[in-house]
Amino acid sequence: MKGTPPDLKKRTRDYALRIIKLYAVLPRSTEAQVLGKQLLRSGTSVGAHYREAQHAKSNADFISKIEGGLQELEESAYWLELLGESGIVPKHRLESLVSETTELLAILVTIVKKVKQRQNS
């Protein structure tokens, strides 16, 4: 899609890799593994949604795929919050990943808003 940040494909892939690395070092407790698997699923699918959107057949299809990525980011934020607040992972170790989640959310929201504005113009 024209006008999207050129590094977003790489950035969402790097985000997924960071999620994978976090999962790999989580404790083997049941709680950590359950939360970790949820995070692994949602965090790695953000980039997949973004890539699918690049081949959307219409603006509506593009928006739908980006909004799917937004849902996955929101879910990832939730799992990160639970990992930190439960004490499974020290909060300070999650700060940069939480920050990247917030930034990606803002970027995708902006993209959706711009496409919707163009549609309504």
pLDDT at 4 over 90: no
Ordered by start, the domain boundaries in the chain are 8-120
73 and 101 in contact (C-beta within 8 Å)?
Answer: yes
Q: Is 88 helix (H, G, I), strand (E, B) or coil?
A: coil
The structure's pTM equals 0.92
Tell me the pLDDT tens digit for each residue of 24-71: 999 999 999 999 999 999 999 999 999 999 999 999 999 999 999 999
Tell the CATH topology of 8-120: de novo design (two linked rop proteins) (1.20.1440)
H-helix or E-strand spanning residue 41:
helix 30-53
Cβ 82 vs Cβ 35: under 8 Å: yes
57 token code pair: 């057949």
Q: What angle do CA 113, 10, 15 make, to 5 degrees?
A: 85
